[in-house]
Structure 1
Amino acid sequence: MHDLFTIDAGEVLVVSFAIGIVVGLTGMGGGALMTPALILLGINPTTAVANDLVAASVNKSVGAGVHWRHGSPNLRLAGYLIAGSVPCAFLGTFVTRLLGSGDEEDLLKTILGYALLFAAASYAFRMYLQLRHVTSGNTIPDEDPQLRPLLTIGIGAVGGFLVGITSVGSGSVIMIALLLLYPTLSAVKLVGTDLVQAVPLVVAAAVGQVINHGVEWSVLIPLIIGGSPGTFLGSKIARWVSQSVIRRGIVIVLTMSGAKMLGASSDALLIIAGAMLLLGPLAWGFVRQTRGIPAFDNNLAAWRLPERK
């Protein structure tokens, strides 16, 4: 138990609280941010994935409970996602173990690196879709969209399998797929639905990881102690905080984390970060101009989906 009072445990607690806020705000970024953060703190990849999934099963329950009280999740949609994601998430936890024992850590880092880069691309694409939706003059209808069960179950299966291997995908792959499949679903319902379906998803993945790798209490307990109140706080303020700046920051962090997992040098990471910080705003400004709005202004309404009133 003395390990819980070390500086490393304190670092895990602080990082998990900050990432928990992002998860509560956006429904995105949990495993995609927490797992690489743990690895960069010196925790081996297998331990990072296993403990992050166990902690996420607790932390996401907090965020889901808050969104449930606001009536935002679409429960039928969440049910279809769960039908596909839960069994595939459990099976996914056995993949790295079956592929080889000696190279398991390096293999997991490689898979995680590509998953993070894919998550970064999906986040950026989601921002573009939202911008296009708003500038096209579309509005969110009061009724829920017609569901497409088979495609929804398939989305859950792919996202669940990826979560089982890397802990990445619940709030990135599944969210962007839902946005493409159900573009008229409001942002609050998207976040609420994703958080509700993510609870059984990460529980199934956590059970599989515990069976295969166990947990490390000095990592798990700080993750829960920091992540639960962070997720609760983020969920409470999600209706009043603009998510666009957060998502753009997530894109940069995920890109750098993915490159780091794939073995990029410090110099390469600095070049990537500098290019994204300098060229990113210019590229986004150009995209805004193609949609008929100024390249740079403070009109946050053009960066997010309108909420249902």
Structure 2
Amino acid sequence: MDFEIGYIVAGLVVGFIVGMTGVGGGSLMTPILLHFGISPASAVGTDLLYAAITKAGGIHVHHKKRNIDWRITGELALGSLPAAALTLWILHSISVDTERLNSLIRTTLGYALIFTAVAILFKSQLMAYSRNNNGWLTRMTRRQQAIATIGTGVVLGAVVTLTSIGAGALGTVALFMLYPLLPTVRLVGTEIAHAVPLTLVAGMGHAGLGNVDWPLLLNLLLGSLPGIYLGSHLAHRVADHYLRPALAVMLIFVGGKLVF
């Protein structure tokens, strides 16, 4: 395997930011890969497997600390995994040329970046609103809540499979809105537990379509694994209210360029 210092550094930087803020994996890595000249389809497919591997360790840690609600994880997966499989089947079945497919992915990616940036910018306000105005949510029956969770999974499954973005920031915000009374750390752990199988299924599906660059993936992991470790240990030393707005502004800029 050829070692590409640019990809290793990209993995290191993105891993460090994810370790510091908990968000930004797909929303940063995919635009970076596009900047390196990787096709949108290959960037999305490679990033999905990258995300599955880098986040897998989080499941073990959060499970040991009892930060995962496996019932909610299962309901999300009940919607997201079939939606991911269906999206992959559609991508495989529709008779579009590579240029049109890349154009579709690029446009969808741009909108996903913008929505992710909004979710990052207004996460605190959304959380506060959800907790202070949870009357209709707490009046939902268990069956209604399960249906809403599965529906959320369907949307996440389609968006993540097409763009590799949304499993982190959008998924966590959606869970905050649906379960405003659960502790934040438990919702974050639950979203990570859901993101790993979703990105793994979507990534393997893209691999079957020939959309994964394996040498590129290995180079990214060489940088990201130590980056996440370092970022996680330094997270408490850097003010989150500086990092998240900077990340959101950058995502809006990149998303706007992709869409317009």
| Alignment correspondent of 2:161 | 164
TM-score (norm: length of structure 2): 0.85
User: Within 1, Cα distance between the matches of 2:186 and 2:233?
Assistant: 14
Specify the alignment match of 2:249 in structure 1.
252
Q: SS at the partner of 2:37?
A: coil
Give 3-state SS (helix, strand or coil) of 1:184's partner.
Answer: coil
Q: Check whether the contact 2:113–2:255 (CA below 8 A) recurs between aligned residues.
A: yes
Q: 1:231-277, CA deviations, whole angstroms, 9 ceiling, x for partnerless residues?
A: 344455667765332221221111011012124xxxxxxxxxxxxxx
Cα deviations by residue, 1:70-116 (Å, 9 ceiling, x for unpaired): 32222222121122111212222344452611411122111111111
| Structure 2 equivalent of residue 140 of structure 1 | none
Identity between Structure 1 and Structure 2 (%): 37
**Does the 8 Å contact 1:81/1:155 carry over to 2?**
yes
Q: 2: CA distance between counterparts of 1:246 and 1:184? A: 26
**Structure 2 unaligned blocks of 5 or more:** 133-141
Q: Which has the larger radius of gyration?
A: 1
Contact preservation (8 Å) 2:130, 2:177:
no
- Per-residue deviation, residues 113-139 of structure 1 (Å, max 9, x unmatched): 1111111122223132245679x7xxx
Partners of 2:168 and 2:191 within 8 A in 1: yes
Aligned to 1:11: 6
Could you say if the C-alpha distance between residues 154 and 132 of structure 1 is closer, same or farther in structure 2, counting changes exceeding 3 Å? closer
Quick check: 1:114 aligned with 2:111?
yes
Structural RMSD (CA)? 2.5
Counterpart of 2:76 (choices 52, 74, 81) is 81
| CA shift digits 1:175-222 (9 cap, x unpaired) | 111111112222222221111111111111011101112422231111
The reply on whether 1:182 has 2:179 as its aligned counterpart is yes
Task: Pick the structure with more helix per residue.
Answer: 2
Structure number with higher relative contact order (C-alpha < 8 Å, ≥ 6 residues apart)? 2
Question: Is residue 2:52 matched to residue 1:57?
Answer: yes
Change (3 A) 1:241 1:115: same
Letter in 2 for 1:211: G
The runs of 5 or more residues in structure 1 that have no matched partner are 137-145, 264-309
Q: Is the 8 A contact 1:46 1:213 kept in 2?
A: no
Give the aligned residue type for 1:227.
S
SS of match in other structure, 2:209? helix
Write the letter of the residue equivalent to 1:248. Answer: P
Query: Which of 60, 66, 89 is the aligned partner of 2:61?
Result: 66
The whole-number CA distance in structure 1 between the counterparts of 2:241 and 2:42 is 32
